[in-house]
A and B are shown apart, each in its own frame.
Chain A
Amino acid sequence: MDNKLNAKDLINVGLFTAIYFVLFFVAGMIGYIPFFMLLLPFLLPLITGIPFMLFLTKVKKFGMVTIMGIIISLLMFATGHGWPVLVTGIGCALIADLIFKSGEYKSWKKTVIGFCVFSGWCIGAMLPMWIMRDAYFEQMRAGYGNEYTDTLMGLMTNWVFPILIVLLIIGGIIGANIGRASLKKHFQRAGIV
């Protein structure tokens, strides 16, 4: 089998990245309400499960998932989400791609694990709240005023971070299963996959 990516693969990557990004944007809008920001790592894999599982049925070669991650993190970086998202975006996508590959892009268990890892990129956008805590909230105070900042700062204590990871994994597992169920229910019947 030819292992190099051809134009058709690249077009598929572009297609699904576009859908993924639109859905992410919808989830991101909800993240503006202070409390719901915590739910973002849960919501993101939950609603992107269906397109991502559909995308994976088109992926047979190494590299496609990585390119998707690179493009998402480039776009996030260009829209001002800071450099950590570049690191987590490219890193998570690469690891996820390796996990998918080790299961030959078929193993369901590895698909679920890989999907959880891939969705981990969104932690990068929130990471500055912990690793650059003072600078981040100082910046936020200048941009949002005191009330909003204090509400958020009270929410984002250190023990919240592991909870976010757990939420991400739960969201990933549910999202992947929703994706698989809807592939069975709709797409196989329609003859698309």
Chain B
Amino acid sequence: MQAQLFQSAPINTSLRLDPRTKLLMMFILSVIMINGDIRGKAVYIRLVLAVIPFILLLFSGRIKASLFYAALYAAVWFAEAFLVYTTSGAANILIVMLAGMVGRFIPCAVMGYYLMTTTRVSEFVAAMEQIHMPRAIIIPLSVMFRFFPTIAEESRAINDAMRMRGIGINSLSKNPVALFEYRLIPLLMSIVKIGGELSAAALTRGLGGPVKRTNICKIGFGVWDFCMAAVMIAALAAYVLIQRGTL
């Protein structure tokens, strides 16, 4: 998986969604998924919602990733449906923890991956301005999303360097402080340096200017946006009704 989050090149996808729709979907998905019910009718709502990131990935051309996700989720589904109530003791806690963690976070993580790989930075900023988010929130947020892949990349490089020096998992028993220190400090150093360069570049391009910025990105709601939003809102409504016990 190459670092291509929030790229600036145009993105080809047959299923184009507005960033605001994606945010709404992310929000509803995580609210319902994190609760992760494995009993009652709420299970079916979770199933429907788990399918949505799969469809989105499939339509944006990431077929391998979508199939991997489908296989993983099916395994979790099996574990939750059959193993949780038939095992006991330590095995039960282990299964619940693993399945619970994967089942809760994978759909949200996949949705987040989709959100970040198919949204351009300017589109994201345009959408945020549309919902009148103040600039003091938009700038740190977009910097943050820009930096997640950088952090991953840098920490991989530092990891390799430290392994060559023999500071790996095996030094956990000998010198646990070094394991932590020799990774975090270089990471912070390079992030601060990169951040300084980034702000210089952004200021040169007029980010700090007092006037309202214009944006050439066209964002807007289409047929797909209405379909997806309708499915999500219906799912949320049904979920709330089930929780209250009226459905």
Residues of chain A having any CB pair with chain B under 8 Å: 5-8, 10-15, 17-19, 21-22, 32-34, 47, 50-51, 54, 63, 67-68, 70-71, 74, 78-81, 139, 142-145, 147-148, 151, 182, 186-187, 190, 192
Contact = CB atoms under 8 A, between A and B. Distances in A.
Given A21-B144, A63-B136, A148-B96, A8 B27 contact: no
Interface string B100-114: 110000001000000
A50 B151 contact: no
A14 B34 contact: no
B97 A18 contact: no
Majority SS at the chain A contact face:
helix
B208 A142 contact: no
Contacts of A182: 181, 185
Q: DSSP class of B's interface residues: helix, strand, loop or mixed? A: helix
Nearest to B146: A14
B84 interface: yes
B144 A14 contact: yes
A32 B137 contact: no
A18 B145 CA distance: 8
Interface in B184-236: 184-185, 187-189, 191-193, 195, 198-199, 202-203, 207-208
A12 B85 CA distance: 49
Contact of B189 (A5, A21, A142, A192): A192
Q: Which 10 A-B pairs have the closest CB atoms?
A: A14-B143, A80-B34, A14-B140, A7-B208, A10-B139, A143-B36, A18-B147, A11-B199, A15-B195, A13-B140
A67 B38 contact: no
Nearest to A68: B140
B39 interface: yes
A182 B180 CA distance: 12
Interface of B: 26-27, 30-40, 42, 84-85, 88-89, 92-93, 96-97, 100-101, 108, 135-137, 139-144, 146-148, 151, 180-181, 184-185, 187-189, 191-193, 195, 198-199, 202-203, 207-208
Given A142-B37, A148-B97, A7 B199 contact: yes
A145 B37 contact: no
B203 A142 contact: no
A79 B100 CA distance: 15
B191 A15 contact: yes
Given A11-B195, A15-B143, A50 B188 contact: yes
Contact of A145 (B34, B92, B185): B92
Contacts of A21: 144
A136 to B, nearest CB: 10
Contact of B137 (A34, A50, A70): A70
Nearest to B177: A178
A10 B189 contact: no
A21 B148 CA distance: 10
